[in-house]
Amino acid sequence: MNQADLGILYRQVILDHAKNPHHFRTLPASVGQQVEKFNPSCGDVLQVRMVVLRNQIQDMSFDGAGCAISMAAASMLTEQLIGQSLPAAREKLAAFSELLMADQVQGQNQDGLFTDESQSVEDKGWQDGDVDLGELSALAGVRQFPTRLKCATLASHAVTALIAKIEGE
């Protein structure tokens, strides 16, 4: 096994977040709104709670069980989103989604199959216009592990649904 290959997926910052996830706790049910998402392939459950005041994300928490990728993604996402306005949060979520999908599309050959040579751009970080994803850009390596995309996006799908729920009210 080549440890360097593994390092593409498991960047140190990801391992750190996975071991010591931020905002991994249970906020009381009376506070804010919650959404629960399942990863049907492994059975993991993720609950994300968000407190929004005047269109601004005041606090977030997440709870559940998951692999290193899904835990780190949830941890880094909460870091990035707390303090943001809802529109800014939606922009970050869109940029994150693009970060994970961009090379996938480029890496597809004409038959729509993934080629082996998806580019590795995780070191230059990710800038999409003015959107700065911070540590989340470390998850770019997941593009080379398509079977793990669901792990990386579980939290962001939950947050997207949560924001839609909050804005719908």
Contacts of 58 (CB under 8 A, 6+ apart): 51, 52, 82
Q: Give the integer Cα–Cα distance in Å for 80 and 156.
A: 11
Q: Does 74 contact another protein by CB under 8 A? A: no
In the set 12, 30, 41, 109, which binds another protein (CB under 8 A)?
Answer: 41
Please name which of 78, 51, 52 lies closest in space to residue 64, comparing C-alpha atoms: 78
**Among 43, 112, 129, 168, interactor with another protein by CB under 8 A:** 43
Query: Per CB under 8 A, which region of 59-67, 86-94, 107-115, 118-126 contacts another protein?
Result: 59-67
Total residues contacting another protein by CB under 8 A comes to 22
Is 10 a binder of another protein (CB under 8 A)?
yes
Largest CA distance in the chain: 51
Beta partners for residue 131, in sequence order: 128
Site for another protein in 139-168 (CB under 8 A): 145, 147-148, 151
- The residues facing 60 across adjacent strands are 50
Provide the binding-site residues for another protein, judged by CB under 8 A.
1-3, 5-6, 9-10, 15, 41-45, 65-69, 145, 147-148, 151
